[in-house]
Amino acid sequence: MFTRISIIFFCAIGFVQAADALRFTGSDLISVSLSRVVEDMNLDRDDQVQFSALGSLPALDQLKSGEVDIAVIAVPLGKSSPKEDFVVYPLAYSVSVVLLNEDNPTNELTLSQLGGIFGASEELQLQNWGELGLAGWTSRSFKPITAQREGDITVELFKHEVLKVSGLKTSVMQVKADELAPLIRGDLASIAVTTEKSTSSGVKELMISAGKDRPAYEASRDNVHFGDYPIRLPYFVVFKASDSARAKPLLQALFSNETAEIFESNGLVALPETVRRKLLIDLELTK
């Protein structure tokens, strides 16, 4: 009899703990980073977080229906993040960066010019570097390249934000991210769209302008977060205000320096440190 009662009691305890666990879901585009954060958090704390990876729309639907407590969703530019009945914080970004050979004198391009180089059916069509005003470069045709990690969205993000018609030219070479640097170093005419900046010698990042007569920016944390760098996909963490206290330990983990490093090791752009610090101060003031 004692054994049966004990088993029932401990099962009930386990049920209560599972019910009290924070139910967390996130966009599958960022799930590798989020699962790592949750794993580290559950190892280091008594707070338990149950994580599942979904697309952004299913995650938001589950949040609205009360099936989860907190969600991370991707919100394409031009779309508004959900605000009614929810607390919404920025979290991280996917970007597409453009790289060149460091001896190429070009330092900046507009989105329209990038479309003319990479797009198959854009109104503007560009064939060689001389068309961008480089004297003596009319014989150098563009050598466009796309390079991405397995599972990332670099190319789709680029097509969505840059091309008015989605198709790439058949001349665009597609390679793995770790194959890119030697190709750029070996050809002055190369231009590559990829997931993140390169630290390789002989390679430089191109600054991008949203349009003619507008300033161009590199993909720094500040420029991406404040919307100056135009080829980006924001991720937001969303939860009900009534769950603020329960969500607090997870939010503190998400805005930590350690998580910023996890994001960037997976090809994402983290929030600027000053922004994360302010969010952490706001959380400390939350009751």
| Domain ranges across the chain | 2-93+233-284, 97-225
Predicted confidence at residue 151, as pLDDT, reads 80
Output the pLDDT for position 79. 61
Give 9 or 166, the one with higher predicted confidence: 166
pLDDT in tens, 64-117: 899 999 999 998 765 656 666 789 999 999 999 999 999 999 999 999 999 999
What pLDDT score was predicted for residue 287? 57
Alpha carbon distance 247, 19 (integer Å) = 14
**Which tops the pLDDT comparison, 160 or 10?**
160
Domains 2-93+233-284 and 97-225 alike in fold: yes
Q: Is the pLDDT of residue 159 over 80?
A: yes
Mean pLDDT score, 206-227:
96
| pLDDT bucket at 45, cuts 50 / 70 / 90 | low
Helical spans, DSSP H, in the chain:
2-20, 31-44, 56-65, 111-118, 154-162, 180-185, 221-225, 244-254, 257-265, 273-284
pLDDT for residue 2: 34
Percent of the chain with pLDDT over 90: 70
pTM above 0.75, yes or no: yes
Helix, coil or strand: residue 210: coil
Of the candidates 17, 5, 38, the residue with the CA atom closest to the CA atom of residue 247: 38
The pLDDT assigned to 82 comes to: 64
Residue 84: what pLDDT? 66
The overall average pLDDT reported for the chain is 88
Class of domain 2-93+233-284: alpha beta
User: What is the per-residue DSSP string for 143-193?
Assistant: EEEEEE-TT--HHHHHHHHH-SS-PBPTT-EEEEGGGHHHHHHT-TTEEEE
Higher pLDDT, 193 or 286: 193
Tell which CATH architecture fits domain 97-225: 3-Layer(aba) Sandwich (3.40)
